[in-house]
Amino acid sequence: MTQRLQIGLVFITMSMGFGFLQYPNLIFKITKTGHFVVVLSYGLLQMFLMIIYKKGLNYFPKQDIIDIYLKMGRWVAFIFLIPYVLNLTALVAMSLRQHAENIGSIFLSRTPDWSILILLLFISTFTAIKGLGTILRSSFFIFFIVNFLVLFVVISSIVNVDFKNALPAYPSSLDFLTKKDFFYLMGFSSILFLGFVPPETKLKFGQLFAEWTYVIFFYLAVVYLPLFIFGQETVVTFHFPAKDAVDSVDINWFIFNQQTIFFGMSMVGLTILLNAVLLWIIGQIIRKLFNWQRNKPSYWICAFSLIAFIFAVSVPNLAWIEKLSLWSAGVHAYFIVIIPFTIFIYGVIANRGMTGYENK
């Protein structure tokens, strides 16, 4: 039971880590009015995919998705999972670089990006090497600390809020559903993680639903905070609207003269856990795909985090990072759609074959 709860917390923390910086920016690009409709329809779509994924996984009670793909055939597993590993590496690299850059601009203005990057990557890699147990246990602390900070940031920003800035409240049309950016949005979710956790402790639908609701409320908060403060006309000019919204708060009596540091601190917590999980997934996939001797996941995790580091450091500037991280999120979105469906379809076919066999 506690493990189930911990998995839920990891799931929530990962989703928050994915979306904290970039999610609002994309939403503001997609629509000019009625932002909550976009967030909610994104939530519904994710929920639908999650149900498909869960249904598919339930056909194979004792297996995670790597086993399922291996069952389909070694080549199928390679075709689906190796690109996924590359995508995860790119995600790790881009998200860490982006976060390093932001954390640097908030409270380490004289420190070069690569040293912040090393620190973040080092902790993430270390956690990933220690395995799922460590990730689950640390998720508990990170979840509570980060959520406390986020809550503080949201509440303290209320002084500058003008609700009228978010009007008109309803969207003029629903054609955002066909936009390319809406597809990118799908990349900000962690549903694939659910297929990698030990099969004995599978989450129930009710719990999944509760967790996803929590995430949606978080996304609504990050989208609406900048909107209430600046309004749609201004908010599109920002790279990281949530950060600028938090930056606008001046609490004279407060010991810290800049409460953006709390925003930065919560980002550190989120990004470390998120990337630890991604690296751990990479390790799992490679370990199961290659049956070599002396094949330890920790070597692979180190190797891939090194690749991610080199990749992240060699990106020249912020405009590039944004473009690349959007692309990697786009590829992630592709996997988020394709993996649940293949698992589900294979589950249906395999199950029908089995029952057919039993009927004979």
Partner 1 sequence: MKINSYVRIIVALISLILLSGCWDIKEIDKRNFPLIIGISKENKEEYKVSLHIPTSEKGGKMSRTVSQKGTNVSSILGQLRTNIEDAVYYKQVRLIIIQNKLANDKEDLSELIKFLMKSKELPSIALIAITEENIEKMFSNINGKHFSHTTSIIDYFYKGADWAPEISTTRIWEVYRSLFSYTKDIAIPVVNSGKDTILNYEGAAILKNGKITEKINPSENQFVILFKNHNANGIIENLGNASIMVTNSSLKIKPSMLTSEPIVSSNLSLKIDILERKEGVTNDQIQSKLEKQFKKQFYDMLDKAQKNKTDIFGFGQHFRNQIPFHELKNWREEYYPNLKVNFQVHVIIE
Which residues of the chain form contacts with partner 1 (CB under 8 A)?
32-33, 105, 107-112, 115, 119, 162, 164-165, 167-169, 172, 230-234, 237, 244, 247-250, 252, 257-258
Q: Which DSSP state fits 177?
A: G
Cβ proximity to partner 1: between 131 and 231 the closer is 231
Q: Which residue has tokens 């509440």?
A: 155
Cβ proximity to partner 1: between 257 and 293 the closer is 257
Closest CA to 153 of 234, 215, 226: 226
Least Å distance between CB 92 and partner 1? 20
Instruction: Give the integer Cα–Cα distance in Å for 203 and 138.
Output: 19
The encoded tokens of residue 206 equal 């009710």
Least Å distance between CB 142 and partner 1? 16
Instruction: Give the integer Cα–Cα distance in Å for 310 and 213.
Output: 37
Least Å distance between CB 150 and partner 1? 20
Least Å distance between CB 62 and partner 1? 36
What is the Cα 1 distance to its own chain's centre? Answer: 24
Cβ atoms of 28 and 232 within 8 Å: the answer is: yes
Cβ proximity to partner 1: between 181 and 247 the closer is 247
Cβ proximity to partner 1: between 233 and 358 the closer is 233
Cβ proximity to partner 1: between 62 and 164 the closer is 164
Closest CA to 11 of 201, 276, 219, 212: 212
Least Å distance between CB 178 and partner 1? 19
The string of DSSP letters for 179-244 reads SHHHHHHTTS--GGGGGTS-GGGPPPHHHHHHHHHHHHHHHHHHHHHHHHHH-HHHHTT-SSHHHH
Cβ proximity to partner 1: between 237 and 314 the closer is 237
Cβ proximity to partner 1: between 184 and 230 the closer is 230
Instruction: Give the integer Cα–Cα distance in Å for 329 and 351.
Output: 33
Cβ atoms of 120 and 265 within 8 Å: the answer is: no
Least Å distance between CB 38 and partner 1? 14
Least Å distance between CB 265 and partner 1? 12
User: Cα torsion at 91, 96, 102, 104 (round to 10°)?
Assistant: -160
